[in-house]
A and B are shown apart, each in its own frame.
Chain A
Amino acid sequence: MGKTDPNGPRHKQQSMILVPMDLAGITITRLLTVFGYDDAPHGHAEIVFDNARVPASNVLLGEGRGFEIAQGRLGPGRIHHCMRLIGLAERALEAMCRRVKARVAFGKPLAEQGTIRADVAESRMALDQARLLTLKAAYLMDTVGNKTARAEIAMIKVVVPRMALRVIDRAIQAHGAAGVSDDFGLASAWAHARTIRLADGPDEVHREAIAKLELGKEN
């Protein structure tokens, strides 16, 4: 996405263009890490486009219509991120339950200790809440469209990563030092979930959208 008309109306300045990666003028200058993970073979790169030339027919939809495409693209993208994170959080909670049943401290299994049991309950409650809200958003997208479902899409985009981070964090805590190693996949799961608070719009943008809709009602 880039500006084709810097002097046009604010949301008509940008266009989306299809670009093959082996085009002259494209250089991958750096491969970035996320909390130390390079996420190979997918990865995250800083890319310089220096006078890279493509045919005019590579413009998507038409010049100045980048924002219009982004509006259509991001609804499904956001809810898919949320669905995947719910699965990741479920797996972390399963790992936590296995772990606390297998480990003994201070004379009894971790699974019989009150704070651990409370953590398990917190994770189950948060997971089911987040899933139900996500299903509601999905249902509204299916029945009344992404535009009408925009409040719910914004809500799950904040609620689900926040939930997943808490659930994974409790699982890490229950695993002790092993939880922050690479042996149980929990550290990388947390790192991944943390990125989703930024991907497809940071929490701040979504909370602003929700507040705007709420304050726009007849209160």
Chain B
Amino acid sequence: MRSMNFEYSDKVKDLERRLAAFMNEHVYPNEPVFRQQIAEGDRWRPTPIVEALKARARAAGLWNLFLPESEYGAGLTNTEYAPLCEIMGRSPGFAPEVFNCSAPDTGNMEVLVRYGTPDQRRRWLEPLLAGDIRSCFAMTEPDVASSDATNIQSSTSSPAASGGSPARAIRAASWRSSWARPIPMARATSSSR
């Protein structure tokens, strides 16, 4: 086995200390507030407490820690991110989003950083990095064993290829977003039943 050094750098120790302090001061005490706001309001709208804490976390430099690319994120390695991600995981459904580090936004942002065109990045990545929109990922389907992704039935076709006729339905169990923003429609289709 190769030699592995898990000693955290001073940069990570400092982030760890500040993140833990933020959790103690702002996250754990507000868990009941988060639950109450969901229970009292429209359950599918962003809560005021998360929005307030997002602004605070961003100002504190505890933002987009998951993203290794330093052009956009904190530039941490996986090993460096591990203790920080662990701390956020202590309050599931609440803390990760406060720091803009919640799934599936993190994976979707990584995809856009890695594969997005400049226009796709401007339209989708920048607002995600800013925490202005949320994303979901539609993949698993009720009618097929989706653990084998080659089973997926949802189909997409371009009008040139299919005459614009609907193909099959995508029925996807996925995370939903309340915040997706409108964009102009044009050609290629994403599918249907």
Contact = CB atoms under 8 A, between A and B. Distances in A.
A70 B123 CA distance: 21
Contacts of A192: 92-93
A57 B190 contact: no
A61 interface: yes
Interface in B72-118: 77-79, 81-82, 85-90, 92-93, 96, 101-104, 106-107, 110-112, 114-117
A73 B107 contact: yes
Nearest to B106: A80
A23 B81 CA distance: 36
B46 to A, nearest CB: 6
Given A51-B191, A91-B90, A21 B177 contact: yes
Interface stretch (A7-15, A102-110, A111-119, A170-178): A7-15
B183 interface: yes
Contact of B96 (A13, A19, A24, A84): A84
B176 A17 contact: no
Given A21-B177, A51-B191, A41 B45 contact: yes
A44 interface: yes
A125 interface: no
B173 A32 contact: yes
A83 B82 contact: yes
Q: Looking at B81, B92, B112, B181, which has the most chain A CB atoms within 10 Å of its CB?
A: B92
Given A54-B190, A56-B187, A86-B86, A14 B111 contact: no
Main secondary structure of the interface of A (DSSP, over half): mixed
A52 B92 contact: no
B104 to A, nearest CB: 7
Main SS class of interface, B: loop
B190 A52 contact: yes
Interface string A180-197: 000001001100100000
Contact of B115 (A47, A52, A55, A61): A61
Contacts of A1: 137-139, 149, 152, 154
B163 interface: no
A10 B85 contact: no
Contacts of A53: 185-190
Contacts of A88: 89-90, 92
A46 B120 contact: no
Given A45-B176, A87-B88, A138-B82, 18 more contacts: A2-B152, A3-B153, A6-B155, A18-B124, A41-B45, A46-B173, A47-B176, A49-B169, A49-B172, A53-B185, A55-B185, A58-B190, A72-B111, A77-B107, A84-B86, A87-B90, A88-B92, A192-B93
20 contacts: A2-B156, A2-B191, A14-B152, A16-B111, A25-B192, A49-B170, A49-B190, A55-B188, A57-B117, A59-B188, A60-B116, A72-B110, A73-B107, A77-B110, A79-B78, A81-B103, A84-B85, A90-B86, A141-B78, A142-B78
